[in-house]
Amino acid sequence: MNKRALLKASALCLIATSSFGQTTDQPIRIIVPLTPGTPSDSVTRIVATAMSEQLKRPIVIDNRPGANGVLAVQELMRSKPDGSTLMLGGISPVALNVAVVKNLPYDPKKDFTPIGGIYNAFQAYIVGNNLPVKTFPEFIAYAKKNPAKVSVAYYSALTKIQFAALSKLANVDFLQVPYKSTTTAYTDVMGGSVDASIVDIATAMTLVKSGKLKALAITLPERSPLAPGLPAASEAVPGVAVPAWSGLIGPAGMPRDVVMKLNSALNTALQQKETVAKMAEGAAQPWPTTPEEFSGHIGKEIQRWVKVAQDAGIQPE
């Protein structure tokens, strides 16, 4: 970098830092790549409220669903790197899309500024009451006896690759059916037009209690007290665990001091008892990290999912 470019970059950093520190009335916008009311959206709002108290600045949520998070990312990339626009960076847009989206219009390693982890969560494999199985091993055995006949609903890059990985590891052939939303997927499971799907554990437990469907296993590598009575799917199919995660990211080029101020507010929020309790209601566990730890996790996850997709024969679409 020549001297003129260096001076220009330094000036931009000073302007961005000054803007973030002084415009306390300007809201911070957090883009959420999901519809309002989804578990991830709800957790983001909980954490945003606590962060707002720490930063003494209002925080607003901007829902931008669609295209596996690509639309939200493109909105983030159009934003100034001054800390006023951030995004909920979950496993799909930040890592999985590299493996499953053709001609991805961004590079997670270059186009984001990782700020910190927010939460780890998990999901449950669900089936309709009409399917003659009661356990996850029975579900796998039934699918093997009925190749390409057991229909599974996927509605995101995550659920698509989860079923592809399960198919590969369990040596079963599912009939994969694409959906546009979680709600329509589990509604059709309840109605019997599709046999199985994967949903967040809070939704799964609510539907199970109402008797509308059956939950067979969770996507963690071990059992969880947040899902009493449900085994881990990996107990029947080793290696099939797929924990979900989300963190806070900004556009590339954010000043270091702004990143650290946001990271400090985020981690303080995640340690508050009220925040922890509210997150637990949605079966989400706080995941405080440094920016470097979050960045390293993203890199490892990208490598992991590219390999999983290749092994499962998934082609980017």
Domain-ending residue, one of 235, 254, 278 = 235
Q: Residue 107 to residues 77, 95, 166, 212, 249: CA-CA distances in angstroms?
A: 11, 10, 27, 41, 13
Domain-ending residue, one of 235, 265, 292 = 235
Name 245's bridge partners. 120
One DSSP character per residue, 91-107 reads HIIIIIHHHH-TT-S--
Q: What per-residue confidence (pLDDT) applies to 8?
A: 44
Q: What per-residue confidence (pLDDT) applies to 19?
A: 52
Q: Does 270 share its domain with 303? A: yes
Q: Does 79 share its domain with 139? A: no
Q: Does 20 share its domain with 36? A: yes
Burial category of 160 from C-beta neighbours within 10 Å (exposed 0-12, middle 13-18, buried 19 and up): buried
Domain at 160, CATH number: 3.40.190.10
256-259: long-range contacts at Cβ-Cβ below 8 A with a sequence spacing of 24 or more? 257/17, 258/16, 258/17, 258/20, 258/82, 258/83, 259/83, 259/113, 259/115, 259/291
Residues (pLDDT < 70) of the chain are 1-24
Domain-ending residue, one of 198, 218, 235 = 235
Structural domain contains residue 138: yes
Q: What per-residue confidence (pLDDT) applies to 211?
A: 95
Q: Does 151 share its domain with 191? A: yes
Task: Specify whether the CB–CB gap between 162 and 198 falls below 8 A.
Answer: yes
Name 58's bridge partners. none
Q: Does 274 share its domain with 229? A: no
- The residue range of the domain holding 155 is 123-235
pTM: 0.85
Q: Does 258 share its domain with 208? A: no
Q: How would you classify the pairing of strands 59-63 and 28-32? A: parallel
Residue 209's closest CA among 225, 230, 224, 234?
230
Q: Does 142 share its domain with 97? A: no
Q: Does 213 share its domain with 305? A: no
Tokens of 126: 């669900």
Q: Does 148 share its domain with 218? A: yes
Structural domain contains residue 158: yes
Structural domain contains residue 255: yes
Structural domain contains residue 260: yes
Structural domain contains residue 316: no
Distance of CA 236 to the CA centre of its chain: 24
Q: Distance between CA atoms of 98 and 100, rounded to whole angstroms? A: 6
Task: Specify whether the CB–CB gap between 89 and 249 falls below 8 A.
Answer: yes
Q: Does 92 share its domain with 50? A: yes
Q: Distance between CA atoms of 41 and 39, rounded to whole angstroms? A: 5
Domain at 33, CATH number: 3.40.190.150
The count of domains in the chain is 2
Q: Distance between CA atoms of 172 and 292, rounded to whole angstroms? A: 39
Q: Distance between CA atoms of 130 and 243, rounded to whole angstroms? A: 28
Q: Distance between CA atoms of 10 and 24, rounded to whole angstroms? A: 23
Q: Does 111 share its domain with 132? A: no
Q: Residue 27 to residues 38, 60, 83, 114, 307: CA-CA distances in angstroms?
A: 23, 6, 10, 20, 40
Q: For 63, list phi and psi in degrees, rounded to 5.
A: -80, 125
Q: How would you classify the pairing of strands 85-90 and 244-251? A: antiparallel
Structural domain contains residue 317: no
Structural domain contains residue 213: yes
Task: Specify whether the CB–CB gap between 162 and 242 falls below 8 A.
Answer: yes
Q: What per-residue confidence (pLDDT) applies to 9?
A: 46
Q: Distance between CA atoms of 272 and 118, rounded to whole angstroms? A: 13
Q: Does 112 share its domain with 11? A: yes
Structural domain contains residue 100: yes
Q: Distance between CA atoms of 300 and 226, rounded to whole angstroms? A: 27
Q: What per-residue confidence (pLDDT) applies to 21?
A: 53
Q: What per-residue confidence (pLDDT) applies to 242?
A: 85
Task: Specify whether the CB–CB gap between 262 and 248 falls below 8 A.
Answer: yes
Q: What per-residue confidence (pLDDT) applies to 20?
A: 59
